[in-house]
Structure 1
Amino acid sequence: MAIASMGTTVLDCPDPRTLAAFYAAVLGWETAQDSDDDWVELEGPGGYNLAFQRSEGHRPPQWPGTEHGQQAHLDLDVPGDAREEAERQVLELGATLLQGDDGGRRSFRVYADPAGHPFCLCYPRPQDT
């Protein structure tokens, strides 16, 4: 029997509303009604939630590297034929490309969100489909 069940994933950041707006646009999720300036929660399908908590003095992770290691990151799946459009959209929303897919040798690209958290857009390689 499980001791607990997985709840909300929470990212610390300097501005929860701004970072929540970024991920709401990326994921198409809605902001929970009880959100405030220090805690903003997005509600996704199947009971998944992603929250953003104000952290004064937030220091973004450095990727790659270990001095300010990433500690955690999000893998976001996109269809293989949509990866270029997905990249264009996340960059327009304020993401920064950290590492490409090495000419298609890897099935993901690494980005930083506007607060500096690493996340990956993952997609099947053509030989995987």
Structure 2
Amino acid sequence: MTVLKTGVLVMDSAEPESLARFYAELLGAEVGPAAGDGELFLVTGGSGVVLGVRRDPNHVPPSWPTPEDSQQAHLRILVAADSLDEAEREAVALGARPLSAEEDGTRRDNRTTLRRFSDPAGHAFLLAAVREEPVAN
């Protein structure tokens, strides 16, 4: 018998609760501390745990998207194509910083399907257009 498991991407942050709240607002989810662990906050939605944010007082933001560095892990948030502009406005209003195509060495003409950002702690994430409505939380 296989033991039931769930995988979750965990990001480090000097201020994990505030970063978890950023993602909860952006994803329409909720946030709370992991059971028995005051250093880890979980962002959860209707489909379960979406993301974890762990306290690291020495956190240094990743250097991506500079061309000389690797991309590293990043979160790709799927958005209906006709809602991409609205999703971008929401992300920026919550504290995301847009990353220009020039910063990551890519062409500007893909902005119709992809938008790049850094979250308040400096982690990279993308808003990516999909043809159909993404699954709701």
Q: Partners in 2 of 1:32 and 1:17 — Cα distance? A: 8
- Structure 1 counterpart of 2:123, which letter? H
SS of the residue corresponding to residue 120 of structure 2 reads coil
Q: Are 2:110 and 1:109 aligned?
A: no
Q: Alpha carbons of 1:82 and 1:41: their partners in 2 closer, same or farther (altered >3 Å)?
A: same
Q: Partners in 2 of 1:96 and 1:76 — Cα distance? A: 15
Q: How does 1:4-43 map to 2 (within 5 A)?
A: 5-32=5-32, 34=34, 38-43=39-44
Which structure's relative contact order is higher, taking Cα pairs within 8 Å and 6+ residues apart?
2
Partner of 2:104: none
C-alpha RMSD over aligned residues: 2.8
Q: Alpha carbons of 1:54 and 1:67: their partners in 2 closer, same or farther (altered >3 Å)?
A: farther
Q: Whose strand proportion is higher, 1 or 2?
A: 2
Partner of 2:53: 52
Extract unaligned runs of 5+ from structure 1.
Answer: none
SS of the residue corresponding to residue 63 of structure 2 reads coil
Q: Spell out, residue by residue over 1:15-70, the C-alpha distance to the aligned partner (whole angstroms, 9 max, x if none).
A: 01110110000101112364665221111232333111011111101222377755
SS of the residue corresponding to residue 38 of structure 1 reads strand
- Structure 2 counterpart of 1:97, which letter? P
Extract unaligned runs of 5+ from structure 2.
Answer: 102-106, 132-137
Q: Alpha carbons of 1:37 and 1:18: their partners in 2 closer, same or farther (altered >3 Å)?
A: farther
Contact 1:29–1:44 (8 Å) recurs in 2 = yes
- How many residues in Structure 1 have an aligned counterpart in Structure 2? 125
- Could you tell me the TM-score, scaled by structure 1's length? 0.80
Q: Alpha carbons of 1:111 and 1:18: their partners in 2 closer, same or farther (altered >3 Å)?
A: same
